Amino acid sequence: MEHSPPPFFRRGPPPHVRLLLCSLLSVALLIADARYGYLEGIRKVVSVIVYPLQRLAGAPRGLFDSLGEFFVTQNALRTENAKLATQSLNDTVVLRKYAALAAENAHLRDLLGARQRYPESTVFAEVLYAGRDLFTRKIVIDKGQQHGVKLGQPVIDQIGIVGQITRIYPWLSEVTLLTDKEQAVPVQSLRNGLRAVIGGTGNDGQLELKFIPLNADFQTGDQLVTSGIDGVYPPGLPVAEVVTVERNAAYLFARISCKPLAGVTSHSQVLVLNWENKLPERPVDEPTAAPRPKKSRRGA
């Protein structure tokens, strides 16, 4: 079965003539456009007509490019966010470490100032750990008998009394804190000079004046310092501040609660005060003579 060409190709000039005519027309259009610019307006009209078709033809590629860029951007953002979160965490740790070091340096400067305020020699010590007994308030410091620490010496910080050396080892010492139940310190009020004895309650941050009469002149806000009459603590060391005063006629003594002024449980460095009692010794009581037995008149 033979295939005949469509009627369009069977009519008109032969193909080589049409090719020649098209070539001549193309050359003429090129010369007219390049030399005289006759086709500039036609080109603009054609570009306006073809522009929607170009946009429509390039839409799938642009969509795929946008999707690829979106996923790449999301992945990059996730990676960057994870990196920034890790860096932020590391920076937070470093900042907290710097803050702790700054607080420790400030405390050390305050201790240095306190060391210069006292004429007695002091031993700088660092708190190693707290006592194991939950019912006592004790700490262990890194200075002992080999460093000149003696039994009974007061332990202070830049503000006031922290405790007292109650047990000593060659390179360590045990300090009983001011808030321990067994600890008692003679004090006096700065406002009126009234003397008393303050003791620990077993709770951190709470002290109590012992055996104070109901009519004793203690008020809220009174500053209490060591009186020095016991020979253990030098006079004038800040101890506590009166917080509450309760007087009840049903009881023999007033209930006076105080808070320690020193950082009893908040610092890791302390000073051991090498203070010697220069008071004269107590006089020895002379033995009294035994009374003579009375003579009986019957015997006479």
DSSP output for the chain? ---PPPHHHHSSS-HHHHHHHHHHHHHHHHHIIIII-TTHHHHHHHHHHHHHHHHHHHHHHHHHHHHHHHHHHHHHHHHHHHHHHHHHHHHHHHHHHHHHHHHHHHHHHHHHHHHHH-SSEEEEEEEEEE-S-TTS-EEEES--GGGT--TT-EEE-SSSEEEEEEEE-SS-EEEEETTSTT-EEEEEETTT--EEEEEE-SSTT-EEEEEEETT----TT-EEEE--TTSSSPTT-EEEEEEEEE--TTSSEEEEEEEESS-TTT-SEEEEEE----SPPPPPPPPPPPPPPPPPTTT-
C-alpha 225: how far from chain center: 31
160: which residues sit within 8 A by CB, 6+ positions away? 225, 237, 238, 239, 260, 261, 262
pLDDT for residue 101: 67
> Nearest CA to 168 among 186, 189, 150, 147?
150
Residue 10 has pLDDT above 60, yes or no: no
Domains of the chain as residue ranges with CATH:
121-274 (2.40.10.340)
CA distances from 36 to 22, 33, 47, 71, 195 (A): 20, 6, 20, 50, 118
Is the confidence at residue 237, as pLDDT, over 50?
A: yes
Window from 39-48, 107-116, 158-167, 291-300 with minimum mean pLDDT: 291-300
Q: Model confidence at 173, in pLDDT bands (50, 70, 90)?
A: very high
Angle at 145 between CA 238 and CA 261, to 5 degrees: 15
Residue 300 has pLDDT above 50, yes or no: no
pTM for the predicted model, two decimal places: 0.59
Backbone angles phi, psi at 225, to 5 degrees: -125, 165
What are the pLDDT digits (tens) for 249-280? Answer: 888 899 999 999 988 887 788 889 887 766 66
Q: Of 40-49, 75-84, 98-107, where does the model show the most confidence?
A: 75-84
Summarize the confidence of residues 172-178 as an average pLDDT. 93
